[in-house]
């Protein structure tokens, strides 16, 4: 079966080569969708969603610098949200896109908020997946502990089992899903072993700050006039139920859906969210 996307590269303002998947018809009159991944993830995570949505619109799924098929940055200090936002701006300029629906998972949700600050007219609507202005420190610490060192695996079945054990909060998924997720998490190195498909240095800033992050409430406030759907995993240790309630209080028109029996982060293909999410995006 042929790929349903075009493989594209752009160069960031500092010359780093960045990869993105380009789905759908670039000439469609429907608002394009920009899919932004979590901290260590890459464009492969959005394959199912992008294929669903690209029947009538364009969908862009970038790999941040240091992830997937984008180049690793020799300077770990550039693994920074402001740099990621500049890279996204470069992508939008290269693709001549001035209006998008943003789907942001975890870090991607924070970047969606940042785009609303930097480019108030850019976002037609936003889907924020399991993240909010209050990031639970215990959950963040768990993530840092898992991603801060490589965990080489000898083969794909062993890698699948390791991720199933380490990320049990992702809920009950079938074997093909875990196979796809694992192949989007690892890539084979020159030593024949499977290594994480991200630069371990991406965690350096978080580690040096002891997981402290800036106050995100003013950033979230930039979405006040933007139609927004918030997705939360019921077992999430990053966005708590109390955190969700505070977001609704700050933005009363916020649409919310909680995915049962799922931790951080929902994959957005769960039955509890898929129809709601697709219907929300179809409005734009």
Residue 172 has pLDDT above 70, yes or no: no
Mean pLDDT of 254-266: 94
Q: How far apart are CA 239 and CA 78, in angstroms?
A: 26
Cis-peptide into 265, omega within 30 deg: yes
- Tokens found for residue 74: 């020799």
Instruction: List, for residues 13-40, the tens digit of each pLDDT value.
Output: 999 999 999 999 999 999 999 999 999 9
**Structural domains for the chain:** 5-137+212-281 (3.40.50.1820)
Q: Is the pTM of this model over 0.75?
A: yes
What is the chain's alpha carbon radius of gyration, rounded to the nearest angstrom?
A: 18
Residue 171 pLDDT = 62
Q: Which two tokens stand for residue 245?
A: 């309630």
The arithmetic mean of pLDDT across residues 165-174, rounded, is 75
Of 172 and 58, the structure prediction assigns the larger pLDDT to 58
Render pLDDT for 203-238 as a digit per residue (tens, 0 to 9): 998 888 766 678 899 999 999 999 999 999 999 999
Q: Which two tokens stand for residue 129?
A: 């997946």
pLDDT at 66 over 60: yes
Q: Give tens-digit pLDDT for 89-146.
A: 999 999 999 999 999 999 999 999 999 999 999 999 999 999 999 998 888 888 888 8
Pairwise CA distance, residues 96 & 75, whole Å: 29
Mean pLDDT of the chain: 94
Structure-token pair, residue 93: 């300029």
Residue 249 contacts by C-beta under 8 Å, 6 or more apart in sequence? none
Tally Cβ neighbours within 10 Å of residue 80. Answer: 14
pLDDT at site 1: 43
pLDDT score of 173: 77
CA angle 218, 123, 219 (to 5 degrees): 10
pLDDT at 192 over 70: yes
Q: Which two tokens stand for residue 111?
A: 């970047």
Q: What is the 3-state secondary structure (H, E, C) of 186-244?
A: EEECCCCCEEECECHHHHHHHHHCCCCCCCCHHHHHHHCCCCEEEEEECCCCCCCHHHH
């Amino acid at each position: 079966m042929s790929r349903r996307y075009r493989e594209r590269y752009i160069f960031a303002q500092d010359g780093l080569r960045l990869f993105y998947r380009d789905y759908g018809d670039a000439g469609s009159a429907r608002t394009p969708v920009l899919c932004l991944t979590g901290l260590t993830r890459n464009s492969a995570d959005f394959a199912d969603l992008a294929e669903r949505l690209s029947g009538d619109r364009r969908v862009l799924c970038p790999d941040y610098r240091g992830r997937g098929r984008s180049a690793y940055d020799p300077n770990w200090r550039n693994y920074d949200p402001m740099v990621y936002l500049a890279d996204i701006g470069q992508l939008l300029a290269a693709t001549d896109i001035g209006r998008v629906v943003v789907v942001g998972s975890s870090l991607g949700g924070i970047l969606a908020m940042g785009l609303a600050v930097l480019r108030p007219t850019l976002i037609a609507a936003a889907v924020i997946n399991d993240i909010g202005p209050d990031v639970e420190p215990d959950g963040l610490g768990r993530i840092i502990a898992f991603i801060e060192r490589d965990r080489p695996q000898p083969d794909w079945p062993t890698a699948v089992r390791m991720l199933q054990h380490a990320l049990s909060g992702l809920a009950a998924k079938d074997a093909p899903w875990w196979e796809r997720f694992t192949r989007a998490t690892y890539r084979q190195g020159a030593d024949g072993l499977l290594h994480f498909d991200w630069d371990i240095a991406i965690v350096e800033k978080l580690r040096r700050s002891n997981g402290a992050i800036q106050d995100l409430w003013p950033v979230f406030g930039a979405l006040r006039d933007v139609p927004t759907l918030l997705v939360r995993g019921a077992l999430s240790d990053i966005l708590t139920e109390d955190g969700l309630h505070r977001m609704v209080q700050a933005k009363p028109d916020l649409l919310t859906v909680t995915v049962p029996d799922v931790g951080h982060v929902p994959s957005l293909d769960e039955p509890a969210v898929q129809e709601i999410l697709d219907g929300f995006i179809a409005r734009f």
